[in-house]
Copies of this chain bind each other. A is one copy, B any other.
Amino acid sequence: MNTNIEKRTTEELLTFVFDSINKIAGLRSRDRLLPELAKMGRDIVYADRCTIWILNRRTNRLWTKVAQDVEPFEMSADMGLVGCGIEENESLIINDVQSDSRFNSHIDKETGYTTKSMIVIPMENKGGKVIGALQVINKQNGTLFTETDLTHLKLASSYASETLSTILLMEEIEETQRELINIMGVTGENRSKETGLHVKRVAEYSWLLGKLYGLSEEECDVLKDVSPMHDIGKIGIPDAILNKPGRLTEDEMTIMKTHASLGYDILRYSELKLLKAASVVAYEHHEKYDGSGYPNGTKAEDIHIYGRITALADVFDALGSERVYKKAWEDEKIFKLFEEERGKHFDPKLIDLFMKNKNKFLAIRDEFKDAF
């Protein structure tokens, strides 16, 4: 490693670059991306350290993550050489940092690390707006950074900036999706006077049940994402029935029960994975393990695992929550009911997993408690 990049053979160089970009191209979050980009920047010029800084214009602060399992680090965007490079939108190559008046020696003093040489390259988005900076510190084996190093790092920095923009956009889209689903769930619930936290808790219980059941991480995430839509069909139920204070008549109950099929009808026409999963949850969350549920009286494992899980999560939350028309049940009373309904209303395997991990479910309930 202690040679110049110019000494690498073509093979070594190609392998190094592609190893880096193949790893990077598969990443889906900025937390994972930043350390990998930094590693690439560091190795491309044989530096000791490399940091990719993201600029938050609102707070005028710089943000980074040096390793995936390390807390993010923040500092003011006005400080030091990185701040200078960003402010002036200019690359800096400084081989005697300590005698540079713009250098902020504060961090060195705190960490005991001595900064000798440094390159700072501002990163721009397509619109030419600075979105952050790439910084390398201390050339390995004590030599100086060269103009060639700067040229190479600029290539890496453009790449970092493109990749970062894509990931930030992707994170925004995913977050939008999640919020849209929550809004759909909450608007459905609002009509039936449930609280927004109900859908959140059901989502968390569902994720945990999926995990305990042995579903893959990806399946658990999908289930968590879509479970807030389980009652979306209530949008089609008349207010007079949906919000009736007393007991429903048999006719009213028949109409109320159509919400499962209504939800299914709203979602079923999509070919998209997430919406397909949502349609299953909307359709089957009132089926019962012994076949006595609705709308189809489907039995046991013929009910999709997503349906079996949401059924349990939904009932657990409804029983344990206080409503205008009822008090919350005592936990012991809920557990007793679950034991009785094991293999009747609920999948026996799920009940066993729930009972064995009760405390985890109660902890979720505490975390997302309704505020009255």
Contacts and interface: CB of A to CB of B under 8 A. Distances in A.
Interface in A307-351: none
A107 interface: no
A267 interface: yes
Dominant SS among interface residues on chain A? helix
A215 interface: no
Contacts of A183: 184, 266-267, 275
A298 interface: no
Given A25-B162, A177-B173, A240-B239, A5 B15 contact: no
B275 A152 contact: no
Interface in A171-224: 172-177, 179-181, 183-184, 186-187, 190-191
B273 A18 contact: no
Nearest to A242: B239
Contact of A18 (B159, B191, B267): B159
A155 B187 contact: no
Interface string A234-248: 011011100000000
A270 B181 CA distance: 13
Nearest to A182: B270
Contacts of A239: 238-240
A353 interface: no
Contact of A170 (B156, B158, B173): B173
B240 A18 contact: no
Interface string A134-156: 00000000000000000010011
Contacts of A172: 272-273
B126 A26 contact: yes
A187 B14 contact: no
Contacts of A240: 239
Copies in the complex: 2
A274 interface: yes
A162 B22 contact: yes
A190 B236 contact: yes
B26 A162 contact: yes
A115 interface: no
A14 B238 CA distance: 65
B21 A10 contact: no
B22 A155 contact: yes
A205 to B, nearest CB: 23
Contacts of A17: 14, 17-18
Contact of A236 (B5, B10, B176, B191): B191
Contacts of A181: 180
Contacts of A177: 173, 176-177, 180
Given A177-B176, A235-B187, A152 B272 contact: no
B235 A15 contact: no
Contacts of A190: 235-236
Contact of A156 (B18, B173, B238): B18
Contacts of A13: 10, 13-14
Interface of A: 5-6, 8, 10, 13-15, 17-18, 21-22, 25-26, 28, 126, 152, 155-156, 158-159, 162-163, 165-166, 169-170, 172-177, 179-181, 183-184, 186-187, 190-191, 232, 235-236, 238-240, 266-267, 270, 272-275
| 7 A-B pairs with least C-beta separation | A25-B162, A18-B155, A26-B162, A180-B180, A187-B235, A25-B163, A22-B158
